[in-house]
């Protein structure tokens, strides 16, 4: 029991460190249907705005991984909790990718953003792609992204009824006891710094718990959409660039290659794995995505 309490305290400290050390500011907007959407902001207030789409699962605390890069690049980084994660309300029945584009607009208005770059990591990629169909988007950057339809990773698991709702809370409990390294190992086989490990764990625990909870339902909903949905590459009319690792076992490279080719975009491949590609190329992606 003492070990579990200590691990919970470590998780709380990790969340605090991720939320405070890089200078993240958390805010929220009210959506027209009464829901609330929370988001974090870091980087210079007058910097070029980029909306960062966290993975599945994930939260606004994901911005901590790129907070220092945002300061160096002069980027105002905005990272929303998607519906059902962290402090954001769950969505209504039938909510999907196209609805995300509309949900994001009140955040942009609250931050007085007229033109914005978009960056999506992993399961955040399809949502960044959806947002790129709006008239405020200037560039779309994708790192280790999922491209629906996909049977890889969580998308395949989502086809098994209730599998994600059962497994993710269980893994969350195990990770609270085992520490940040247990979370990191799901995304990369490389060693990372203690600060990176704490930030990744804080993002994961906030996604599944947060102030509202129920994050496993959000994981299940998004993963099912990755398996059964699709993205419209023909309607996108903006510069697109993707970074993807050849050793990424979480998201398949061939679907990314096809998507980027269809869009006339640019693909940079690297020898890294899922999270390793973000750690190696996240700064480049952030700088590229910033509006010119």
Percent over 90 (pLDDT), the chain = 66
Q: Which residue has the higher pLDDT, 56 or 175?
A: 56
Percent over 70 (pLDDT), the chain = 82
Mean pLDDT of the chain: 86
Whether the CB-CB separation of 100 and 124 falls below 8 Å is answered with no
In this prediction, residue 147 has a pLDDT band, given cuts at 50, 70 and 90, of very high
Does the pLDDT at position 174 exceed 90?
Answer: no
The closest of 244, 207, 232, 209 to 96, measured between CA atoms, is 232
The closest of 130, 185, 122, 127 to 152, measured between CA atoms, is 122
End-to-end alpha carbon distance in the chain: 53
* DSSP of 262-291: HHT-EEEEES--HHHHHHHHHHHHHHHHS-
CA 275/CA 254 separation, integer angstroms = 18
Q: Is 144 exposed, middle or buried (0-12, 13-18, 19+ CB in 10 A)?
A: buried
| pLDDT for the residue numbered 233 | 85
| pLDDT for the residue numbered 145 | 96
In this prediction, residue 93 has a pLDDT band, given cuts at 50, 70 and 90, of very high
Average pLDDT over residues 45-57: 96
CA 18/CA 60 separation, integer angstroms = 10
Average pLDDT over residues 171-183: 69
In this prediction, residue 220 has a pLDDT band, given cuts at 50, 70 and 90, of confident
Does the pLDDT at position 69 exceed 70?
Answer: yes
| pLDDT for the residue numbered 15 | 40
| pLDDT for the residue numbered 162 | 56
| pLDDT for the residue numbered 4 | 32
Does the pLDDT at position 154 exceed 60?
Answer: no
In this prediction, residue 157 has a pLDDT band, given cuts at 50, 70 and 90, of low
CA 120/CA 98 separation, integer angstroms = 15
* DSSP of 131-192: HTTSTTEEEEEEES---SS--STHHHHTTSTTHHHHHHHHHHHHHHHH-HHHHHTTT-SS--
CATH top-level class for 2-289? alpha beta
List the single range of 4-8, 52-56, 288-292 with lowest mean pLDDT.
Answer: 4-8
Does the pLDDT at position 13 exceed 50?
Answer: no
Give per-residue pLDDT as tens, 224-262. 888 888 888 888 999 999 999 999 988 989 999 999 999
CA 214/CA 196 separation, integer angstroms = 25
The closest of 65, 88, 15, 83 to 219, measured between CA atoms, is 83
List the single range of 19-28, 52-61, 82-91, 154-163 with lowest mean pLDDT.
Answer: 154-163
Average pLDDT over residues 119-138: 96
């Amino acid at each position: 029991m003492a070990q579990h309490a200590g691990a919970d305290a470590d998780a709380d400290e990790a969340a605090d460190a991720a939320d405070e050390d890089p200078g993240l500011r958390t805010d929220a907007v009210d959506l027209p249907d009464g829901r609330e959407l929370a988001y974090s902001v870091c980087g210079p207030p007058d910097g070029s705005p980029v909306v960062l789409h966290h993975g599945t699962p994930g939260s606004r605390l994901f911005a901590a991984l790129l907070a220092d890069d945002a300061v160096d690049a002069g980027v105002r980084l905005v990272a929303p909790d998607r519906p059902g994660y962290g402090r954001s309300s769950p969505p209504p029945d039938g909510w999907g990718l196209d609805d995300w584009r509309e949900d994001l607009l009140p955040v942009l208005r609250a931050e007085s953003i007229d033109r914005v770059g978009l960056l999506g990591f992993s399961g955040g990629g399809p949502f960044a792609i959806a947002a790129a169909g709006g008239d405020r988007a200037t560039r779309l950057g994708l790192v280790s992204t999922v491209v629906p339809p996909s049977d890889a990773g969580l998308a395949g698991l989502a086809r098994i009824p209730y599998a994600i709702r059962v497994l993710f809370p269980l893994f969350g409990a195990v990770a609270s006891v085992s520490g940040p390294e247990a979370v990191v190992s799901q995304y990369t086989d490389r060693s990372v710094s203690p600060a990176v490990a704490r930030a990744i764990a804080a993002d994961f625990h906030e996604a599944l718990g947060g102030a509202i909870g129920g994050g496993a339902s959000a994981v299940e909903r998004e993963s099912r959409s990755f398996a059964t949905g699709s993205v419209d590459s023909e309607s996108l009319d903006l510069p697109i660039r993707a970074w993807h690792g050849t050793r990424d076992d979480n998201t398949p490279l061939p679907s990314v290659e096809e998507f980027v080719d269809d869009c006339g975009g640019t693909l940079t491949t690297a020898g890294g794995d899922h999270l390793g590609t973000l750690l190696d190329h996240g700064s480049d992606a952030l700088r590229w995505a910033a509006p010119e």
